[in-house]
Amino acid sequence: MIPTLRLLLLLLLGALLVAGAALAQALLWLALFYFFAVVVLVATDVILTPRPDQIEVERLNDTKLSLGAENLVTVLMANRSDRRLRFMLRDEYPYQFPSDAVILCGELFPYDVYEARYHVRPLQRGDYNFGDINLRYHSQLRTFIRQARYKAANDVKVYPNVLEVRKYDLLARKGLLFELGLRQARMFGVGTEFERLREYNTDDEFRRINWKATARFGKPIAVEFETERSQYVVSVIDTGRLMRPPIGELAKLDYVINASLLLSYVASLKDDHIGMLTFADEVGTYLAPRRGKSQFYRMLEALYNVQFQPVEADYARALSYLSLKHKRRSLIVLFTDLATLEASRPLIANLGRLAQRHLPLCVTISDPNITHLSGQPVRDSTAVYQRAVAEMLLDERQVILDTLNRHGVLTLDVPADKLTVSLINTYLELKGKGKL
C-alpha cells in the first residue's frame, strides 16, 4: 500500500501534537487519541477497499502483430466488489514498441466490466514478450493507494502488415477498393475464355471479328475474351545490404515484404499460383508456386522473421536457381535496390535472360532524401554540391531503369508509401492485358 497525501498530512498533524506535548502535558493524551483515530480510519479504509483478488484483469491482443501498424491491445477489468474504483493501469508491453498510452486511467463501477485500450506500433519483425499488468487504485477513504500485479505474460510475434490484408478483404467485400487507390483493371479481348459478342470498332484487332455473327447481324461483330485466371506470380526478395537503409521508421526490406505479401494475397484471390524466393549472396527460402490461401499463410510464416544480410546480392545465383526450379512462364517480381550502373550490370544481364521465358518486373523504392535534394533551392555552395550529386544519382538510376526496359524487363520505381498500391495496380493491369 502507498500512503496518499491525505494520510501524510494527518500523520504530520499528529507529529505536531506530539511536539506540542513537550509544552503542554494535556496535548500528549490528545496526540495519543488522535493517532488511535488515524489507525482506526486506516483500518476501516482497508476493510472497505476491495482486495486485489476481487478484481479480475485480462489482456486481449492478437498473437500476430503487424509491423508498422497500430495494433490494438485491450485490457479487460472486472470488478467483483460492491465498491467503485478509480484506477491507474500500466501494462508491460515490449519496450521496443512505441505506444500511444503508457498509463491508462479510468473508473470501474461495482459488478461492472471496463475495457482499457491502447495501441502499439512494432518497428521490427520477430519474437517479443508482454509482461504482467500493474494496477493501482485509490482506497475508499483516500488514505492509501493499493497496488497489485496480475500475471499476464505471453509471447507475440511481429509479422509483416497483415492488417493491410484484412483491410483489403473488408473493402473488397464492400466494393470500395478505390479507397486504397486500386484501379479496376479488368480488360477483354486478350485472353482465351469467351466472354461476349459486341459491335466491332476501329481499335479492335481484325482477327477478333466473328464472321458468323457478322453475317447474322449485317455489321462487323467482335468477340471479347476474358483473361485466364490461373497464372503464376513469384516474388523474389533481395535481403542483401542494399535493403537495410531505413525510410522513416521502417527498413526498405520491411516495405518490400509488406508489399509482396499483399500482392500475393490479391493474386491468390484471383486464383493465381503464388510463390516466393529470398536471397542475398546465397538462396534463402524457396516456396514453389501454388494456389490457395494456405500458400499465402506459408509465405507469411516464411517471411515474418527474415532479416537483411550485410552482403552483396548474387542475382546470378538466385535467378539461375529459380529458372531451374520453375520453368512455367510467370510474372517474376524482383524486389531489390539500385546502386551504380556498374554494380547493376549483373542485375541487368540476369533479368534480361529471364525475360526470354518469363515476364520480369523489377521493383525498387526511390530514395526520398535524394529526390528532395535534387529539387532544393540553391542558396549556397553546399546546396549546389548536394543538388548536383543528387541529380547525378537520379540520372544514373534512370539510366539503369531504361537499360532494364530495353532488355525486356518491366520496372517500377516509386516512393515507399506508394509501393503497395502501385505494385498491385501494375499486377492488375498486366493481368488485364493478358501479358502474364
Q: Which residue has the cell 539461375?
A: 320
pLDDT of residue 284: 93
**Residue among 165, 392, 131 nearest 263 (CA):** 165
CATH superfamily, with its number, for domain 52-159: Immunoglobulins (2.60.40.10)
Is 60 exceeded by the pLDDT of residue 282?
Answer: yes
pLDDT of residue 188: 43
Range in 283-287, 413-417, 430-434 with the lowest mean pLDDT: 430-434
**Average pLDDT for 279-302:** 93
pLDDT of residue 190: 47
Which CATH number is 177-183+229-432 given?
A: 3.40.50.410
Mean pLDDT of the chain: 85
**Average pLDDT for 117-122:** 95
pLDDT of residue 227: 52
pLDDT of residue 195: 55
Q: Which residues of 232-251 are buried (b: 16+ CB within 10 A; e: fewer)?
A: bbbbbbbbbbbbeeebeebb
Range in 20-24, 140-144, 309-313 with the lowest mean pLDDT: 20-24
Contacts of 37 (CB under 8 A, 6+ apart): none
**Residue among 433, 265, 233, 249 nearest 335 (CA):** 233
Range in 73-87, 207-221, 301-315 with the lowest mean pLDDT: 207-221
What is the torsional sign of CA 228, 230, 234, 235?
A: positive
What secondary structure letter does DSSP report for 328?
S
β pairing state of 188-199 and 246-247: unpaired
Q: What secondary structure does DSSP assign to 351-370, as a single string?
A: HHHHTTTSEEEEEEE--HHH
Cβ-contact 85, 50 below 8 angstroms: yes
**Strand ranges for 80-153 from DSSP E:** 85-91, 104-108, 113-120, 126-130, 133-138, 144-150
**CA 79/CA 91 separation, integer angstroms:** 18
Range in 58-62, 183-187, 220-224, 265-269 with the lowest mean pLDDT: 183-187
Query: Mind listing the pLDDT tens digit for each residue in 148-192?
Result: 999 999 999 998 887 777 766 655 555 555 545 555 545 444 455
Spans of all domains in the chain: 2-48, 52-159, 177-183+229-432, 188-226
Q: Which residues of 155-193 are buried (b: 16+ CB within 10 A; e: fewer)?
A: ebbbbbbbbbbeebeeeeeeeebeebebeebebbbbbee
Q: What is the pTM of this model?
A: 0.75
pLDDT of residue 372: 72
Range in 148-162, 207-221, 313-327, 406-420 with the lowest mean pLDDT: 207-221
Give percent of the chain with pLDDT exceeding 70.
Answer: 88
Phi, psi of 429, rounded to the nearest 5 degrees: -65, -45
Is 60 exceeded by the pLDDT of residue 113?
Answer: yes
Is 50 exceeded by the pLDDT of residue 53?
Answer: yes
Cβ-contact 309, 280 below 8 angstroms: yes
In angstroms, the Cα distances linking 425 to 129, 263, 269, 323 are 37, 10, 15, 26
Range in 148-162, 216-230, 279-293, 321-335 with the lowest mean pLDDT: 216-230
Give percent of the chain with pLDDT exceeding 90.
Answer: 47
Cβ-contact 120, 67 below 8 angstroms: no
pLDDT of residue 214: 81
**Average pLDDT for 292-310:** 90
Alpha helices for 88-200 (secondary structure H): 162-174
SS (H, E, C) 152-183: CCEEEEEECCHHHHHHHHHHHHHCCHHHHCCC
Query: Mind listing the pLDDT tens digit for each residue in 344-382?
Result: 999 999 999 999 999 999 999 987 777 777 777 777 777
pLDDT of residue 178: 54
Residues linked to residue 71 through DSSP beta bridges, in sequence order:
120
Is 90 exceeded by the pLDDT of residue 7?
Answer: no
Helix axes 5-20, 26-48, angle to 10 degrees: 160
Query: Mind listing the pLDDT tens digit for each residue in 8-34?
Result: 888 888 777 777 766 666 677 777 888
pLDDT of residue 369: 74
Is 90 exceeded by the pLDDT of residue 220?
Answer: no
Phi, psi of 401, rounded to the nearest 5 degrees: -65, -40
